[in-house]
Amino acid sequence: MICITGNMPVLQVGEHQISDYDTYWIRRSIEDAARNANQPHFSFVDDVYDGIVFYLENKCSLRLLKLEDLYKRIRHTLKRIGCEAIANALKIESPPITISLERAAIEAGNGFELAFYQILNTEMLTLKELGAREVFFSEIRESILILKQSTKWYDDCDQLEKDILLWLKNAGTSPQRQGFRIRCNIEAIKV
């Protein structure tokens, strides 16, 4: 299912607010908890998942819901149906989060690539601690132009884009270019 803005609450994940999200990560976190509780064939995954999505779509009166509060509800639901072991094994996972590379470049300052990478590293580690598995980086072109102190794209810009992808790969994120953004899995990020 995909969140239709206005139908589900906006999720607060750290300083990020996510309004347009799919809900597959909720199901995945319930399945992971069942496996971690040595109940890999937990037959109520669909029921718990459907109940949580129904709550988000129809019963949640909040327009902004902290991710931790959503997981308190999921744990409560699991405990009410007698699945305390799974509830205790449940780990917070967030939907994919989009991060602006342009914002990181502005924060780092013109021409300060090292600070740019440090900002990205800090942001990814923080998001991993908050339960993010996937991150999408947007505004790649804009960030490169800021870092290169240029208004036009030239060969050095192509090289910097390759360097950013290489840095993400070396950080353990398995970056994938997807049109105007980069998808990264931050589960294996190196601290």
Q: pTM of the entire structure?
A: 0.82
Pairing mode, strands 64-66 and 16-18:
unpaired
Q: Is 145 exposed, middle or buried (0-12, 13-18, 19+ CB in 10 A)?
A: buried
DSSP state of 4: P
Sheet holding 97-100, edge to edge: 97-100, 134-138, 181-185, 176-178
- Which are the contacts of 100, defined by CB distance < 8 A and separation ≥ 6? 137, 138, 139, 143
Region 172-184: what's the mean pLDDT? 90
pLDDT of residue 54: 93
Identify which of 58, 55, 62 has the alpha carbon closest to the alpha carbon of residue 10. 62
pLDDT digits (tens, 9 = 90+) for 86-114: 999 999 999 999 999 999 999 987 768 88
| Phi, psi of 106, deg, nearest 5 | -65, -45
Buried b (16+ CB within 10 A) or exposed e, 61-89: eeeebebeebbebbbebbeeeebebbbeb
pLDDT of residue 95: 93
Region 148-156: what's the mean pLDDT? 90
Region 71-81: what's the mean pLDDT? 95
Q: What is the dihedral of CA 33, 36, 38, 44, to 10 degrees?
A: 10
Q: Is the pLDDT of residue 51 over 70?
A: yes
pLDDT of residue 190: 67
Q: Is the pLDDT of residue 78 over 80?
A: yes
Other beta carbons less than 10 A from residue 176's beta carbon: 13
Helix (H, G, I), strand (E, B) or coil at 30: helix
Quickly state the pLDDT bin for 4 (edges 50, 70, 90). very low
Per-domain residue ranges of the chain: 10-89, 97-185
Q: Which residue has the tokens 């607010």?
A: 17
Region 55-80: what's the mean pLDDT? 94
